[in-house]
Structure 1
């Protein structure tokens, strides 16, 4: 059992129905046919619907959105239960009650168990009475009733401008519930939602200005502390952390406890702009979770670790110090160099380049990977063009493309524009099949193949080829090989490193090679570091290979003295 769950027999047993009945929000449970099996006291009062009369009726008979909402019909309910996909986002809508009145509610559908769907709703009529209805209906998070991400961000921007004008500090806390997914998986999404609701209520009682607390997303919360320097902000974070250690909810016969990790950032110490402060808070939170969770981290104590790397990365991007290092790819049968891969490096004059493994986690976490991919891809295209103009025969240049870059159509178009310009310079020496090969991991590919094809289409239509990286680990879905125009399979390096010594691994790679042969794909073994591995892969029939045995990545950029 997880350390986040502990028994407390001293408390009396409370059933799930009692728990739902004690909620201030309305809850109606329905079966697969859309008929009411449970209605709590709050729902009965809000709808003016006696509980005994509601039982057995269809949901749409007692809860009637105006206008009609198809998500409440029987077909949708049955489909939701079959797919086990709860809808947790709330919709604000007027609902006709049993006494023919119209009231404003926000509501959401969630799954309680495999046979029961529930609608949870909250009365918003008081907002109309107090003329609050002009507030954006999506300005708050409907589950926790806190400000949502956009609203708390706008609040932070306004507060930042005030503090900047007055030369006063403020602190931001990024708070994350530890191992929340485990709670969801072990106890169900309904319990998880109750955990978030009660945690949000508990958190607002720990701060002096509840309106400055918002749900940042998922199980993350943002808390703004005006007029606090970093030292005062850390003390407040420690106070919140101590109190949350006592927080729990009751489900069935168990008390469910949770801990939290907190990232602390301060203006002006951690930056001059709101984006700098949020990035520092996010980086500190990442460091807190990486350090074992249930702890507090700030930029002050993490200089030189994750935050230091993030700052170095941001500066390198701004100063154009992200450049590719090229590692040769060799034909394993002939020993000839047939391609290369462009690998990102941070360069500093007079010091050794920083390899990607030291900063890529920070880049992904801070959503900077797309900028790195763009820079490396653009420079790799220029390198290819220069090589062809010098009289060399064009050969494949592999560049890593993240899913994040594929979600930035402007950057995708920028890469294609650069490729088009350079292909014109190279003239007829480059045909319809371009040398640049985009390399993407299985995990980065979307589960919907139609979406994947659509996103990759601009690259593939231009004549770029596709390589699947890290093949053999993760999902290893063969659907991608059947439905995408893959040209290369790069076999995961962790398998390659074991192939010479483990018969089971050899069998796996033989299977991959057999599939590749049938599909006329070129296989590439990564992380080849010795003669024994090379000979084993040759025997299996793997086509190409790369690794330190053939050569380390080399920087060809002349403007850096490295």
Structure 2
């Protein structure tokens, strides 16, 4: 109970004295007023009564005298005197005087201050029929004012006694009935105000005080209950305040330490807060911009067109929901410098569904990421060796050209080239010389094309040129000039000099109905036709070249590969994937590599036939052969390779084959190979191009225990967008970045970025093309988990690896 300081400060007997005094005053004044009223009424009636009494006495005396005289036969003075004396005693008068027949009779004493009453009447004495007239008779009483005064005195004395008795009785009754119970209630109330909260008013009375006590007690119980609830609410408020202070501190610390810029505004878009990163990023201090519109502080422009873009805060305030900037937005600082940013604005509401009271704007500096993305985009679309566009970028541009083609209006031409002497240079002088030849040839191509044309390295020693807005006749003249320039070119390497030739195939692009695959195939056929015709010449693809395409293209590759499958002339090699920390430790992990044994018994590397197999849809058959042969070998050597892991490459065609996944699952069941031993490798380009099928394939086989690796990571920029979708275990960094990372800072940065991305997503990283110890050392510094390449181990036939494993098991079993 909360005590009242005003009540508590008063003396304890103040209320009692005040109430008693008020009752006494009320009773006193009530007696005065009532006494005056009653006395006035009694005195008024008393005077009238006395006057009436006096008149009645006079009338009665006259009547008695008349009766006396009427009954007298003889009137004698003595008899009259006696009668008068008797009447004086009877009527209590002081004197009577009567005049009769000329005589006056007076009895008693008369005084000047006496009241006189005169009467006259006629009478007939007994026996006398004549009427006699009595003279005026005078009757004297006590004076009227004396009688009234005496009556007043008696009335006042009586009224005083009565009113005093009544007043004392009324005062006692009022104190008994009102003052005492009220004083008890006051005393109880005082105790309650002194924090005796459990005390209650007595409820034993049945009158109004009892009702009032019960009512107040219920009110006190209710107040006590609410007071308890209020205390609990106040405790919760204090706890909430403490929690809010802690949260506020945490938020402030977080906002100060967060790596993104955070700006808050009010409902009008005026700035209220900038965290330190926002001050650093925007170039403004909070004291100089607080209360200013955010559009004055944040000048955003489109990176490509240099036009202002809408501020996300304004869009958020207008639409009432989360908004973000479009891509390629630049923030212009007060000093004119620019920062690539991505920002998001979210509404702030007082409560869910309540009115919007402001916004919070989060700005992320993506300058470094943009630079890296541009580098990655360039590397993803260009060949590292020559600097030309790569096959993927070339096919993208070719697709756009095909879509814009219109017969007779907008025609293009595809030029497909293959160096004629590249293999000789490569075999004679090595890969370094071959790489230099490719770079010099690329330089020749650049010098012979227009700005609107695109030149690309399509793979190995194959190149392509897209002549845009150029018909095939003009393109042929350009190609023939190019042949002449190449003919004049001699490649010199140390003491060797080589004449270089090039075979060129041309295909006209005149209809949007053509497919890129068909056009590339036709150009390949035309190029092959040029080679078959004697090399170093131009061949234009015509519709009547279908037979040539069939004979020299499909038959050549399809027949050789199918025959190799039938004759079981493929071979499996193993190359170890070792921990970077110690290449000689850890459970063995090998990648399976395929080789083709040609008709002459020579091994053909995969780059020689895999492109053709992919182009002519033979990869699924090859993948099935690899899975079947590998699983049979694993099962046959289960005792020796238990605990080993093997990586098997899969093509996009196999991922899209609805029956291939069932084939793999059946192979596990038939051979008894543990899924935990198998890791399937899918190239980045294949996974992204077949995202739905790849995601399903990975999900099913990972559920069985298999692992997955994303191969050639970094060659396709799209991997950064889809990497979270692909639940892979290993990230294989493309060897083109690893091979010269010790001398190329850009490639090293790419390797570092890929490693960080993989680790951030819970993946382990594998670097390919690790050719020496220096690369291995740098990979250790970066934190890459595994390495693969000639610097770790060269590929070896699977039979030799398994034979060595079996011998090791036998030696351990025999103790030799």
Which TM bucket (shorter chain)?
0.3 to 0.5
Q: Of Structure 1 and Structure 2, which has the larger fraction of its residues in strand?
A: 1
Using structure 1 for the length normalisation, give the TM-score. Answer: 0.46
Q: Considering only CA atoms, is the larger Rg found in Structure 1 or Structure 2?
A: 2
Q: TM-score, normalised by structure 2?
A: 0.33
